[in-house]
Amino acid sequence: MAQYKITITNQKRRSQELLEIREYDNAPIFSKSMYKYTVASMFFYAAQSIDYKCLDAIVERDGKKVLHLVMDTRVDGSTIDAILKAARPREKYRYIRTLNIAC
């Protein structure tokens, strides 16, 4: 069984703010429920304030990085969207989905 550690941070202009750290022991794989909870946490922070416009979530398995999730908040007129992208190590970021915060 593997140990998973998920770290969610807020990227500011000159610093990084730690928001959450979650650890899962004896998990066989990075499950769908862990993924949903991570995306829900990131969306919660993105919907709180414009201060959380660039969020990162790093998923580590046994100390090695296996997945990097990025959520960028964009304002286009009256629409506010959070765009989720993901990448494995040494891969390009792939678009996952757009979450609508307000319109």
Task: State residue 78 phi and psi, 5-degree precision.
Answer: -100, 0
Q: What is the pLDDT of residue 78?
A: 86
C-beta atoms surrounding 96 within 10 Å: 14
Domains contained in the chain, number = 1
The boundaries of the domain holding residue 91 are 2-102
> Quick one: CA dihedral 55, 35, 75, 20, positive or negative?
negative
Instruction: Please tell me the distance from the alpha carbon of residue 55 to that of residue 43, in angstroms, as a whole number.
Output: 9
pLDDT value of residue 25: 86
pLDDT in 10s for each residue of the chain, 103 residues: 788 999 999 998 899 999 999 998 877 777 778 888 999 999 999 999 888 999 999 999 999 999 999 999 998 888 999 999 999 999 999 999 999 988 8
- What b/e string do you get for 50-89 counting C-beta neighbours within 10 Å, with b at 16 or more? eebbebbbebbbeeeeebbbbbebeeeeeebbbebebeee
The single residue listed with the structure tokens 């296996």 is 66
Predicted confidence at residue 46, as pLDDT, reads: 92
Using alpha carbons only, what angle is made at residue 10 by residues 27 and 67, rounded to the nearest 5 degrees?
A: 35
Q: Which pTM was predicted?
A: 0.88
